[in-house]
Structures are given as C-alpha cells and as structure tokens.
Amino acid sequence: MHAGEPWDALWLNLHLATLELERGYGEIRDAALAVRDGRIAWLGPRQELPGGERAQIVYDGRGGWLTPGLIDCHTHLVYAGNRAEEFERRLAGEAYEDIARSGGGIMATVRATREASEDELLRQSAVRLRHLAGEGVTTVEIKSGYGLTIESERKMLRVARRLGEVCDLRVCTSFLGAHALPSEYAGRGDDYIERLCAEMLPALAAEGLVDAVDAYCERIAFSPKQVERLFARARELGLPVRLHADQLSDCGGGALAARHAALSADHLEYSSEDSIRAMARSGTVAVLLPGAFYFLREARRPPLPALRAHRVPIAMASDCNPGTSPCTSLLLMLNMACTLFGLTPAEALAGVTRNAARALGLQREAGRLAAGLQADLALWDVRHPAELAYAFGANPCSGRWRAGRLASSGR
C-alpha cells in the first residue's frame, strides 16, 4: 500500500464492456479502469491513462473482460422450504393455477416462511444469494410476500437487509404484501388491501425496510382496482412501484404500471401492444423472466417485437422463487433470454446491467462503466462478452468488486 498514489485501485491488462450506449457492449480493448473513493474515476484505453500505472492496489485482468457488476432486479429469494413436491404434481398434469386455488402454491411457502425463525430464514436464503453473487452479481432486488402479516413481512425484509451485509452486495427491497390473499382474509380481498395501505406498508416503510412497492395483478391474485388503491398509497408515501403484470392473462397490467410511472412491469407474456406503448411513454422498464416461462412450460412469449419497436428498455432477472423459478443463476437467464425469447447476447447483457439498474431506479449509481458511478465490477475469463450468454452451466466469473472493494462472497 502506498499512500499518495493517484488511484485507490487500478485494473490493467483487460478489455471493458461499458454498456454505456443503447446498443452493443461499448467495447474498449486493452483498457484501464481506475477507482477512487469507491467510484469509477477514470476509464479508457490503457495508453491514455493519466498519471502513470500506479495505485494502492493494481489488479491484473489477465486479458479478460470487465463489466458492470450484474444486477438481478426481480427475486423472491427470501423464503423457507421448497416446492419440489408441487413440481412433481405439475409434471403429473396439475396446473399451477389449480394448485394455487386449492391452497398450495404461494400459500404453501407462506406457511413455511411464517414458521421459520429470522436466523433460519437468513441461513436458507444466504445459500441462494451466495450462488447468485458467485456469478458476478453486485446488486439484487428482494421482495417480501411470503409472510402476509406485518410480523412475518418484517422478518422477510429484515433478512433481505441482513443478506446485503452477509453476501457483500447492494440489496433493494420491494414490499410485496399484495402477493396472495392470506386465508385469514378469504373472500375479503378489499379489506386485506386496506390493511396493507393503512397499517403494514406505512409501518414497514417508516422502519426503513421498503425501497419500492410491488403487487401481483392476476386473476388468482389481486385485481387492477385493488392494485390501483395500493399504488396510490405508495405514491402518498413517496415510494416507487413495480408490478407483476400479465404473466398468465392480459389484465392490462403493463398499462396500469405505466399509469403509475412504475419503475418496471415484469413478466408481460400476455401484454397487449397498447400496454407496451404506454410503458414506452412512462419510461417503465420491461423485466422479462425466462426462468418462470421455462419452469411453467409457458407457450406464450413476451412481445419482444413490440418492446423493440416502441423502444421499451428490456431487463431480465432470475425471479428466484420456490414455485415458478427455483433458479439461482443469472447467467442462465442470459442464455434463456436469447434461446427462448430471441434477445441478442448484447441485449441480454444490457438487461442485467444498464436496464436492470434503471428498473431499480439506480441508473446514476450502477449498471454501466462510467466515471462517477459506483465501482461495482465483475471480471470474466472470456474472449468476448457474448460468451456470457452463449455458455450455460459455466461460470467464468473470476472476480467481483462492490464499490471498488473485492467482495468477500465471490468465488
């Protein structure tokens, strides 16, 4: 360590994929990147580096590629137990919606999550998050929604916050009290929404546990009218919103999200072109979830041509959850977004960096390599960034940095 060096940390002998532009990777070959006070201070071709190649720490990129740290912008990774038995039932022919209607599905995980202690929930969830982090993830969004009482929703959100420290990454929380109707409120959906608006959301927000509000708008969950009520309350509390929209049927979810200037509308398999147009106008990011599409063996794909035509920013995420996407690999989602939905590898990488940052309202902090942003970085042992979407089951991540510091739970 040498005090007075021009940079706190310097990366040399590598290429950069900056993800700065709307298209492509933003390639800078034989580059250097310098960090000061946790932020990117300089990046560009190595020969143009000002001040010489001196820093307190110099990292040798070994000819690999440095990208922004990956961002998983939609997960339900805090939960207890699993639903392998439900998977077997679905394979034997039962439908996801029928299992949900008969008290299984989300409610099965609610029962297990309510029973688990906070420490046990942390232990089970950390296993999943470590796996994501090992693939270069430096920011993760985590939803509540398997508690559905104030105590158990608080427990989930506290675990989410603690996970950020345990796994050395940035956690953004979303309150998803409107995920399923708890049996205590059977037949009284409006009353439950009222309870969320009057008590649960304001209390948990006041405790600093809520960064955004999410809801599940679907015929087996909450109606557009109920979601409108919740979103109006979120706005009063100054909280941004996002929505599980049009996953199993067209509920006009994309348009509803756009009306509330939602950060993102997620799933979107059944969204109409009107919804997509509205999302384009409101700047709402489309978050595609190929893991859930694959695991539910959906036939209907999200409307990629319309998303492209209307220039809606596209992100993708793991949707890590026990029922529809028991997945802890964001790299696998890159591959599936290409093979199942038809994205290009460059669109896929932008979907877990630049556009995922936007889906979390973090576009000025993360998701690109640019001077001034936090130095959240991932180093890859690949010849070209397209390989990140090309290979599946591989993990070429060789380093992960959070705000310029080597992150501890990386491989």
Cβ proximity to Fe ion, 246 vs 319, nearer residue: 319
Distances (CA, A) of 133 to 205, 325, 365, 391, 407: 27, 17, 18, 18, 9
Q: Which 8-state DSSP code applies to residue 69?
A: P
- Site size with ligand NIG, rule: CB under 6 A: 13
Examine residue 319 and tell whether it contacts ligand NIG (CB under 6 A).
Answer: yes
Tell the smallest beta-carbon distance from residue 244 to Fe ion (Å): 5
Q: What one-letter code names the amino acid at 383?
A: R
* Under rule CB under 6 A, residue 227 binds ligand NIG: no
Tokens of 41: 């201070």
Q: Of 86 and 376, which has the nearer Cβ to ligand NIG?
A: 86
Q: Which residues pair with 143 in a beta bridge?
A: 174
Strands 55-60 and 65-68: unpaired
d(CA 131, CA 400): 13
Residue 143 backbone zone (phi > 0: left; psi -120 to 50: alpha; other: beta): beta
Q: What is the DSSP letter of 225?
A: H
The reply to whether 105 sits near ligand NIG by the rule CB under 6 A is yes
The distance of closest approach from Cβ of residue 174 to Fe ion in the complex, given in angstroms and rounded to an integer, is 10
CB of 321 to Fe ion, least distance (A): 6
Q: Does 247 bind ligand NIG (CB under 6 A)?
A: yes
Alpha-carbon Rg for the chain, nearest whole angstrom, is 21
Q: Residue 244, interface with ligand NIG (CB under 6 A)? A: yes
Min dist. Cβ of residue 79 to ligand NIG (A): 7
CB of 196 to ligand NIG, least distance (A): 16
Among 321, 329, 335, 353, binds ligand NIG (CB under 6 A): 321
377 binds, among ligand NIG, Fe ion, none (CB under 5 to 8 A by kind): none
DSSP string across 132-183: HHHTTEEEEEEE--S--SHHHHHHHHHHHHHHHHHHTSEEEEEEEEETS--G
Kindly tell me which of 109 and 271 has the beta carbon lying closer to ligand NIG: 109
Backbone angles phi, psi at 247, to 5 degrees: -80, -45
Binding status of residue 324 toward ligand NIG by CB under 6 A: yes
Per rule CB under 6 A, is residue 292 in the interface with ligand NIG?
yes
How many residues at the interface with Fe ion, by CB under 5 A?
1
**Can you give the binding site for Fe ion, defined by CB under 5 A?**
319
**Can you give the binding site for ligand NIG, defined by CB under 6 A?**
76, 105-106, 109, 216, 244, 247, 292, 319, 321-324
